[in-house]
Amino acid sequence: MTKQSKIKTEITTENKCSFCDGTKCCVYTTQQIDTPRTKDDFDHLLWQMAHKNIQVYKDEGEWFLLVNNECQFLGNNGQCGIYETRPQLCRDYSNDYCEFDEPAEKGFQFYFKTYDELNTYCQKRFKKWGIRFTS
C-alpha cells in the first residue's frame, strides 16, 4: 500500500477563484425592490416567483429579487470571456470575503427560494389572504 501525502495548497485572494466550483458570483443577478407591504405588493412578487429561477430575499432591511441565471460570458472553464472589458460591477467585486467563504444567504432576514415558501409567508402575514381564491 502506497502512503499518499496530501499536499495542501494555501488559498489566497490571488488563487481563490480557481478553487471556486461553479464560479458562484457569476451565476446570478440581483435587483433591489421596494419593500413589499400590501397584498398587491406580494401578489406581484408571487407572480414574479412563478417564473423559473426567480427568488426573493431580505437583507439588512432591504428586499431584493434574485435571478439565478448565469452570465452569458462565463466560460465552461469558469473564466470570464470578456475579462478585459467586463462590467465595472464585476471589476469592483472583491474576493477578499465572498460567497466562496460564506454563502450570501447566511445573513438574510428572509429567503424565499420557492413560490410555495412565499405563498406560505403571505398566508401567515395576511389573515384573509386565501379568501379571494375560494369564492
Question: Can you give the binding site for ligand SF4, defined by CB under 6 A?
Answer: 16-17, 20, 23-26, 71, 73-74, 80, 82, 86-87, 90, 95, 98-100
For residues 73 and 129, which CB has a smaller minimum distance to ligand SF4 in the complex?
Answer: 73
Give me the half-sphere count of Cα atoms (radius 13 Å) on the Cβ side of residue 42.
18
8 A C-beta contact, residue 77 and residue 66: no
For residues 73 and 108, which CB has a smaller minimum distance to ligand SF4 in the complex?
Answer: 73
Q: How far is the CB of 76 from ligand SF4 (least distance, A)?
A: 12
For residues 14 and 34, which CB has a smaller minimum distance to ligand SF4 in the complex?
Answer: 14
Size (the chain), residues: 135
Q: How far is the CB of 83 from ligand SF4 (least distance, A)?
A: 6
Q: How far is CA 91 from the centre of its chain?
A: 19
* Helix, strand, or coil (residue 112): strand
Q: How far is the CB of 57 from ligand SF4 (least distance, A)?
A: 17
For residues 100 and 111, which CB has a smaller minimum distance to ligand SF4 in the complex?
Answer: 100
Q: DSSP code of 92?
A: H
8 A C-beta contact, residue 67 and residue 53: yes
